[in-house]
Chain A
C-alpha cells in the first residue's frame, strides 16, 4: 500500500526543492538500479542526501525506495517520527539491539519484497564534504544476500547547502555520480577498501569540487 503522504511530500516539496532550489549534476544515471531488491550505498554529508537520492526515482517507483536509518535518532520525538514514517518511510535499524543477529531483520524483509534500499555506510553525516570512515555494517547485511547488487553513489555539494548542525539552507548545485555495481567481496576489509576506492574514483567526476 503506497503511502499517500510520501508521494505528496515528494511531488510538492522535495522534488521542486531538489531540482529548482538545489539543482543536480548527474553522471551515470543508467547505473541506477531500475528495480529491487537492490542497495544504493552513498556517502553522507547532509540530511538532504537521502532526499536527493530518492528524487532520482519517478513518483510511481518511490514507494519501493526506502532509506535505512537509525531508529534511536529518527524516532526520538513524535514530529520527526511522523516525518520519518509517513513522508520518507524509513527502514528503522535499532543500533543498540540486544540481539546482533536480528539487527538487519527489517532491512532483509524490505529486500525480500523487492525494495531499493538506500544506505550510508559511513553511518553518520560527519564533517561537511569529508568522507568519514566506512563501517562494516553493509558488508554484514550483504551476507547471504547475493540477490541484491550494491550501487555506489558519490555526492558532493550538499554539505555546503545544509551541513550538520545548521538550520540555514543555502542553495548550491550538487554532483550526483553513480557508479557501476560493486563486485562481491569475501571479507569485510576488502569490501570497505573497494567502496573507498570507488568513492574516490567517482569523486573525480564532480564539477563542484574545485581542484
Chain B
C-alpha cells in the first residue's frame, strides 16, 4: 500500500505539474479576457483534476483498488454503449449477463490467470450470450443484436481490461514497477489525443477521412504520431521494461492505434447521429468520448510489450 516506485511517482508529479500549469493558464486567460467565455475550458480542466485524482489515488493505494477502478470504468463504458445503440427489449436479460462478465473478467486480471483472461470474453462470453438470446425466443433482428452485444463487450470490457492486466504483470523494470506501464500507456494515449488536436488545429490542411470526421487531418495525425514516438522513445526505458528501440516502435503503434480508436468510435456516433455518447465527464462528453483511443491502444500496447519483454 502506498508504495509507488520512484519512476512512476516522478511521472505522476510531472502530470500533476502539467495540470497545474493548465489551471494557471486558464486562470490567466479568463482574467485577461473577461469578455470571452472559458466555461468549456474550465469544465475540461476540472474534469481532468477529478479523473487524474481518482486514478492516482487508486493506483497508489493498492493493486486491488486500481483493478476495481478499471472494472468500474468498463461498466460505465459498457452501459453507455448499450444506451446509445439500438437494443431489443427481449434482450434485457442478456444485457444483464453481459454486465456480469465485467467482475468475472477483472477477477481473472486480479488473480493473474493470463490464459483465462485472454479467452474468457472471446470464447466463453461470445458463445454464452447468443445462447441466452435463443432462450429469450425472439429471432427477429437476432443477427444484428448478437453482433452489437458482442462488439460492445469486446470494446469496453475485453479491450479496456488489458490496461488493468498491465498491473498484474511482474515488474521487470524495478524503478517503475508494474504501474509504470499503466501510467505510460495512459500518458501516451492522452498525449497523442492532445497533440493530434493541437497540430490539427494549428497546421491542419489535408483531411484524412472527411466522411467520418471532418476535423481529422494528416497534419494533426502526423504531429501526434511524431510527438508520441519521441516521448515514447525517451520514456519507455524509464517507465516500462522496453528499451529505446522498442520504445520508438511502441510510440508509432500507440500514435496510429489511438487515431484509429478515435475514428472508430466517431463512426459509431455518426451512425447513430449523435455528437457525444453521454455527459458523464463535463467538458469531455461521455466515457466513450474519452476512452475511444484507449480501447485500441491498451490491448495493442499490452501484447506488444508482452511479446517483447515477457
Contacts and interface: CB of A to CB of B under 8 A. Distances in A.
B202 interface: no
B279 A211 contact: no
Contacts of B93: 168, 170
* Main DSSP-derived SS at the B contact region: helix
A168 B53 CA distance: 35
Contacts of B87: 160
A5 interface: no
B134 interface: no
B274 interface: yes
A160 B273 contact: no
B280 A23 contact: yes
A23 B278 contact: yes
A101 interface: no
A21 to B, nearest CB: 8
Interface string A48-81: 0000000000000000000000000000000000
Given A168-B93, A170-B96, A210 B85 contact: yes
A128 B277 CA distance: 22
B89 A128 contact: yes
Contacts of B11: none
How many interface residues does chain B have, given as a range? 20 to 34
B83 A157 contact: yes
A160 B85 CA distance: 12
A171 interface: yes
Interface string B275-300: 01111100000100000000000000
A168 to B, nearest CB: 6
Contact of B79 (A166, A168, A172, A210): A172
A207 B276 contact: yes
Contacts of A207: 84, 272, 274, 276-278
B273 A211 contact: yes
A111 B239 CA distance: 63
A26 interface: yes
A91 to B, nearest CB: 31
Interface in A12-70: 23, 25-26
B80 interface: yes
A166 B277 contact: no
Given A23-B280, A160-B89, A170 B95 contact: yes
A162 B82 CA distance: 15
B92 interface: yes
A91 B309 CA distance: 66
B306 to A, nearest CB: 32
Contacts of A172: 79, 82-83
A117 interface: no
B274 A170 contact: no
A172 B81 CA distance: 9
Interface in A171-211: 171-174, 207-208, 210-211
Interface of A: 23, 25-26, 128, 157, 160, 163, 166, 168, 170-174, 207-208, 210-211
20 contacts: A23-B76, A23-B79, A23-B80, A23-B278, A25-B279, A160-B87, A160-B89, A160-B92, A163-B92, A170-B92, A170-B93, A172-B83, A173-B84, A173-B286, A174-B83, A207-B276, A207-B277, A208-B83, A208-B84, A210-B272
